[in-house]
Amino acid sequence: MTRSENTHSILIGYLLWIFGFMGAHRFYFGKPVTGTIWFFTLGLLFIGWIIDLLLIPGMNSQADRRFLAGPKDYNVSWILLTFLGLLGIHRFYLGKWLTGLIWLLTGGLFLLGYLYDYWTLNEQIDDVNGKLR
């Protein structure tokens, strides 16, 4: 189980940075605490959001070392969560059919599930990839 494979993408990081004032790119790179701070403070009143333009390459390197590559792609999962999360598509992609259906019927558990999945999606993908290897 090598953790040096490329699991995250700088391009996806910058795409999520566009929504970074909500912390999306920080959650993507496995930084849920600062992601939550960005979520509730609009990226530290947009100042931290702008500074992150320079920090994304380093966050990408850290994420590549930290998370397990495998059949389920981090980039696909995060794009599905960010843009289709209300429909639970990211959960269906990970093979979590029951919770995907719950998300579909409840709008992402009434939006509270979004923050939960932002906190835990990298670990969920890691678990699925570990089981599929």
- pLDDT by residue (tens digit) across 43-72? 899 899 899 999 999 999 999 999 989 999
Q: Where are the domains of the chain?
A: 10-132
- pLDDT by residue (tens digit) across 85-102? 889 999 999 999 999 999
What pTM value is reported for the model?
0.88
64-101 burial: b if 16+ Cβ within 10 Å, else e: beebbbbebbbbebbbbbbeebeebbbbbbbebeebbe
What is the CA 49 to chain-centroid distance, rounded?
Answer: 17
Average pLDDT over residues 75-88: 92
With CA atoms as reference, report the closest residue to 116 among 95, 85, 70: 85
| CA–CA distance, 37 with 20 (Å, rounded to integer) | 11
Phi, psi of 88 (to 5 degrees): 75, 15
3-state secondary structure 6-59: CCCCHHHHHHHHCCHHHCHHHHHCCCHHHHHHHHHHHHHHCHHHHHHHHHHHHH
With CA atoms as reference, report the closest residue to 67 among 133, 132, 131, 3: 3
Q: Under a CB-based contact definition with an 8 Å cutoff, are residues 69 and 130 in contact? A: no
